[in-house]
Structure 1
Amino acid sequence: MKDEDDPSLFAQEVAGIKPLERGEVYLGKKGPAVDFQARKRAAVIAQEADSNHLSHDYVQKVLPNDMLEYKRPGVQDGVFKRLRQGKYAIESRLDLHRRTVAQARELVYQFAEDCLRNDIRVAVIVHGKGDRTPDPDNQATIKSYINKWLRDLDMVMAFHSAQRHHGGLGAVYVLFKKSEKARLENWEKHQKR
C-alpha cells in the first residue's frame, strides 16, 4: 500500500489541466502609486503623538498574593524601609479597579507624568489583587502589568506593596523622583545652613 503523499497521486489529480494563456490571467487593476515618504511621515507623527512607551504586550505574571517591591540603585535603604512601612504621607492616589489593560496603561502613564509635574513624591496605586477573576489564567493581570510598568518609568524610584490599611497586596506605594524644581529648592535650602 502506497502512502497518500505519493507523487503519482498528485500527477493523477492534475492530469488534464492546462496552463492559462497570458491574456486569461487577471492580475487586478494597478492602483495609484504608493507614497512611501508620506506613510513614513504619518508613522513618525503617530509615534510622537503617543509618547507612552509602556508596553501592553507579554508580561511576566505575578500571583494575587505576591508582594511587589522594587528599588532603583541609589535609593537609600532607610528611605525604602519607610516607603515599605507606609510612613510617608500619600500625596496622590490612582484606583485601577474595573479597568482594562489598555485603560490602565494610559492612566498609569498620565498619573506618573502628573505626579512628577506637580512635585508629588509618594503616591499609592490601587490595582486590586485580581483574585476574584473566575479564569485562573487572567488573575492578577493588572497587578502584573503594574509590576512591569513601574519598573519601566524613569521617574519611579521605588515601589512596594502597601500596608493593609492602604490596600495591602492590592495596592502599591510609589516613590517618584524629585522634579528639577524640587531638587533645586532642596539644594538651595541646604546651602543656606
Structure 2
Amino acid sequence: MSSSEWSAFVGELGDITPLNQDTLAHRTNPDRDAASLAAKRSAAETPAQDSPLYLSLESVDLLHPDDIVGYKKDGVQEGVFKKLRLGHYPCEARLDLHDHRVEQARKALLDFIRDSLRQGHRSLVVVHGKGERSQPQALLKSYVSGWLKQIPQVLAYHSTQRHHGSTGSLYVLLRKSERAKQETRERHQSRLG
C-alpha cells in the first residue's frame, strides 16, 4: 500500500467512533470449574471402550511363550518399576484369563481395570498363561501385553516372579485415583504442619 493510499484510508476512518462494549463480567465458580475440568480430563484420558481403536483385536506383535515382558510409561521412576518387577507391591486384585477367547479376554481385562480403579487398587496381577499350546503360540499373552500399553491408567507392567506365575502372568501398576492423590497431599501437609 502506498503512502497516499494509506492517507486516504486513515481519512475515511476519521469520523468513526468505537462502540461501547455491553458484555457482562465473567464470573467463575472455582468448585464447579475444578469438577468440570476433572471430568473433561478423565473423559479425554479414557478412550471409549466401544471405539474400534481402543484395545484393538486386529493385528498383534506375537511374543514367545517364555518371553519376559516389561513396560513403563515416561515419568515412572526406576525405583518404582524395579519394585514392581521384583513383586514387592502387595497384590490387591487378580484376574485369571485362562480359557478365555481373545474377545472375552479383552472385555474381562477392561472390566477388571475399571473395577480395580473404582476400588482404589493400584497393584494387580493379570494371569494370561504362556500359550504354549495355543495356535499361534502366546496369542493371549501377546494381546494382553499390547492392550495394557493402550490403557491410560496403566503406568507399568512386568512379567511376574516365578511364585506368581513367571512369564504366564503380569504385575500391573495403575495410576493413583484422585482421592488417593488428595489423601497423599493431605498427609504431606499435616507433616509439614
TM-score (norm 2): 0.72
Gaps of 5+ in 1: 1-47
Q: Does 1:58 align with 2:59?
A: yes
- Aligned equivalents of 2:89 and 2:174: distance in 1? 12
Residue aligning to 1:177: 175
Residue aligning to 1:116: 117
- Equivalent AA in structure 2 for residue 64 of structure 1: P
Residue aligning to 1:31: none
Deviation track 1:43-80 (CA, whole Å, cap 9, x = no partner) reads xxxxx683682111101111101111000111111110
- Equivalent AA in structure 2 for residue 178 of structure 1: K
SS of the equivalent of 1:192 reads: helix
- Aligned equivalents of 1:57 and 1:187: distance in 2? 42
- Aligned equivalents of 1:94 and 1:76: distance in 2? 25
Residue aligning to 1:83: 84
- Aligned equivalents of 2:188 and 2:115: distance in 1? 27
- Equivalent AA in structure 2 for residue 161 of structure 1: S
Shift of 1:81: 0.3
- Aligned equivalents of 1:155 and 1:117: distance in 2? 12
Residue aligning to 1:32: none
- Equivalent AA in structure 2 for residue 111 of structure 1: F
Residue aligning to 2:155: 157
RMSD value over aligned CA atoms? 1.6
- Aligned equivalents of 2:89 and 2:104: distance in 1? 28
Deviation track 1:112-145 (CA, whole Å, cap 9, x = no partner) reads 1111111101000000000123x4xx11000000
- Aligned equivalents of 2:91 and 2:117: distance in 1? 14
- Aligned equivalents of 2:84 and 2:49: distance in 1? 34
Residue aligning to 2:100: 99
Gaps of 5+ in 2: 1-47
Deviation track 1:147-176 (CA, whole Å, cap 9, x = no partner) reads 100000000000000000001000000000
- Aligned equivalents of 1:75 and 1:188: distance in 2? 22
- Equivalent AA in structure 2 for residue 191 of structure 1: Q
Structure 1 stretch 50-59 or stretch 171-180: which is displaced more?
A: 50-59
Percent identity reads: 50
Residue aligning to 1:22: none
Residue aligning to 1:26: none
- Aligned equivalents of 2:145 and 2:127: distance in 1? 12
- Aligned equivalents of 1:70 and 1:114: distance in 2? 22
